[in-house]
Amino acid sequence: MKIICIGRNYTDHIEELANERPEDPVVFLKPDTSLVLKNQPFFIPPFSNDVHYEVEILVRINRIGKHIQQKFAHKYYDAIGLGIDFTARDLQAKLKSKGLPWEKAKAFDGAAVVGDWVNKSELPHVDELQFEMSKNGTIVQQSSSALMLWKVDELIAYVSQFFTLKIGDIIFTGTPAGVGPVAENDVLEGSLEGRQLFSIKVK
C-alpha cells in the first residue's frame, strides 16, 4: 500500500503559502509508516517546532490500474475519506530553500491521519463534496472539492502515468487554505458532508 499525495491543488492554499501555481499536479509519496494507527494520538516529532495540519479528501483505490484514462478513472475507487497531511513546516521551508525533496517534512512516522471511509455511492458527486476540520471546536479549514484545480478523476489519470495504482492505495487530494500549527493537547476533528470521519488528539 502506498500513499500518493497531491500538493498545491487549491488556489487559496497556494496564495496562503505564497507558492507558484504549478502547470501539473505536484506529487509526493508517504510510506505506510507515516500512518497514525487507529485510535492513537499524533505525536509532535522532536525535530520540528512548527508542525501544521492540512485536511484533505482521500480516495481509496479498489483495482489495479496503469495509464488510466480520465473517463474510466471513476471505476478505480469505491470509497471516499478525510485525513490530515501533517507537515513539519520549518523543516519543509529549509528543504525547499535548498531545492531538496520534502520527504523528511512530509513523510515522517505518524505524518498521515486516515479517517473512516464512506462508500462513494452514499455521497454526492466526488466533485461536489463539502468538508471541514475544527481545532478545539473552532472550524479552521472549510472547503469543497469543487474548488480543486485538478479533480479526483484527473488526478487518478495523471498519477497512473507514473505509478501503477494497486488495491488499497490512498490518494490525498490536496488541502485548501486555513492550514496552521498544532500544539500539545489540541483536538482535531474532520467532517465530510456532515459526517465526522476522524477525531485525533495531539501529544
Neighbours of 185 (CB within 10 A): 10
Q: Which residues, at least 6 apart from 199, have a Cβ–Cβ distance to it below 8 Å? A: 187, 188, 189, 190
pLDDT band of 22, cuts 50, 70, 90: confident
Does the structure show a pLDDT above 70 at 16?
Answer: no
Does the structure show a pLDDT above 80 at 66?
Answer: yes
CATH number at residue 60: 3.90.850.10
Range of the domain at 101: 3-201
How many domains would you assign to the chain? Answer: 1
pLDDT band of 38, cuts 50, 70, 90: confident
**Residue range 120-126: mean pLDDT, rounded:** 97
* 151-182 confidence digits (pLDDT tens): 999 999 999 999 999 999 999 999 999 999 99
Alpha carbon separation from 20 to 7, 12, 143, 154 (Å, rounded): 11, 12, 21, 20
pLDDT band of 135, cuts 50, 70, 90: very high
pLDDT band of 17, cuts 50, 70, 90: low
Predicted local distance difference test score (pLDDT) of residue 195: 98
SS3 90: helix
Average pLDDT, rounded, for the chain: 95
pLDDT band of 99, cuts 50, 70, 90: very high
Whether 84 contacts 134, CB under 8 Å: no
Predicted local distance difference test score (pLDDT) of residue 21: 72
> What is the C-alpha to C-alpha distance for residues 185 and 200, in angstroms, rounded to an integer?
10
SS3 70: helix
Model pTM?
Answer: 0.95
Q: Which long-range contacts (CB under 8 A, 24 or more apart) does 145-148 make?
A: 145/57, 145/173, 147/10, 147/11, 147/12, 147/176, 148/9, 148/10, 148/173, 148/174
